[in-house]
Amino acid sequence: MRRALEEARAAFDAGEVPVGAVVLDPSGEVIGTGHNDRERAADPTGHAEIIAMRGAASALGAWRLSGCTLVVTLEPCTMCAGAAVQARVGRIAYGAVDLKAGAVGSLWDVVRDRRLNHRPEVVAEVLADECGALLSGFFARRRVR
């Protein structure tokens, strides 16, 4: 999560909503990193998780991220939670809870829906205060402008 927070800070510095993500392979090595890049890339799918999972899949040369862990500073949205299921990610660890759009337990629970045949394990609220503080700092600064 420390590495994901570094990514989130890079997004913050670039004026993007500060969300960062990393993908760890089964041995714990970082194989993908990403931070929110929606504004710069003008890409509605430019979320940290998507970018980190693309990087990981590219590093592995395979779309299947079985046994990998997706670490992200904010609870994933429906798109990213869905992509994590599609990638067969083994585990999702997230930081701050997203009560407005979270799809890993808050508003929806896309990854533990019993109707799906792949359900990643979830570890919630890892360094949640630190992850959340970065986000509230970002939005507070935007309101002042």
Binding-site member from 4, 11, 57, 77 for Zn ion (CB under 5 A) = 77
What is the full DSSP assignment across 36-96? --HHHHT-TT--HHHHHHHHHHHHHTSS--TT-EEEEEE---HHHHHHHHHTT-SEEEEEE
Q: Which is nearer to Zn ion, 65 or 77 (CB)?
A: 77
Tell me the closest approach of the beta carbon of residue 2 to Zn ion, in angstroms: 21
**Number of chain positions touching Zn ion (CB under 5 A):** 4
Binding-site member from 4, 22, 80, 93 for Zn ion (CB under 5 A) = 80
Q: Are 71 and 59 in contact (CB under 8 A)?
A: no
Name the residues annotated as catalytic.
49
The distance in angstroms from the start CA to the end CA of the chain is: 30
Cα-only R_g, the chain: 14
Q: Are 10 and 35 in contact (CB under 8 A)?
A: yes
Tell me the closest approach of the beta carbon of residue 47 to Zn ion, in angstroms: 3
Residue 24 contacts Zn ion per CB under 5 A: no
Binding mask 39-58 for Zn ion (x = CB under 5 A): --------x-----------
> Which residues in this chain contact Zn ion in the complex, by CB under 5 A?
47, 77, 79-80
